[in-house]
Amino acid sequence: MKRIAVFADVQNLYYTVRQAYGCHFNYAALWADISQRGEIVEAYAYAIDRGDSKQQQFQQILRNLGFTVKLKPYIQRSDGSAKGDWDVGITIDIMDIAANVDEVVLASGDGDFDLLLERIASKHGVDTVAYGVPGLTANSLIRAAGRYVPIEGSLLLK
């Protein structure tokens, strides 16, 4: 049975799905879709911790599905902008796990991950799959992934 690791960029999914469809991403449908191809042996969801109860409930839902939820504090800069980026953390985790699985699934449309997917495919021979919102997923990420799955239909909570 294929061993699969899943990495969900929660902020990217939240904002791209909301922008494109005006709704939320269906993590349970993602889990079910991936589970049809093999056994999910590692699953991480990367989020920003604002400390509010609604987010904590959502994070518990992710845990109940089987995700390990990794949190970073929400940082408000003095100029009013905010920071909450998991790109380096996601990259480190994928690099650490890629040698031990058959497939890496990245749920994100962020083009910063294109070189990462290319590297783990060439170095470890791992299959790579990217889930992203059509029109809001970087073309470089789509090209880098062994397979691209558009987020639409059952992957949306309407």
State which amino acid sits at residue 149: V
Domain limits, the chain: 3-157
Whether pLDDT at 77 is above 80: no
Shortest CA distance to 41 belongs to which of 67, 65, 5, 2?
5
Single pTM value for the model: 0.94
- CATH, domain range 3-157: 3.40.50.1010
Whether pLDDT at 28 is above 70: yes
Percent of the chain residues past pLDDT 70, beyond the cut: 96
Render pLDDT for 32-41 as a digit per residue (tens, 0 to 9).
999 999 999 9
pLDDT on residue 75: 73
Give CA angle at 45 (128, 16), nearest 5°: 75
48: three-class secondary structure by DSSP:
strand
Cα–Cα dist 94/64, whole Å:
22
- Specify the higher pLDDT residue, 77 or 122: 122
Cα–Cα dist 147/28, whole Å:
20
Mean pLDDT over 108-137 rounds to 98
Whether pLDDT at 81 is above 60: no
pLDDT on residue 84: 66
Task: Report whether 107 contacts 13 (CB < 8 A).
Answer: yes
Q: Read out DSSP for 92-132? A: HHHHHHGGG-SEEEEE---GGGHHHHHHHHHHH--EEEEEE
Among 48-52, 83-87, 113-117, 119-123, the range scoring the smallest mean pLDDT is: 83-87
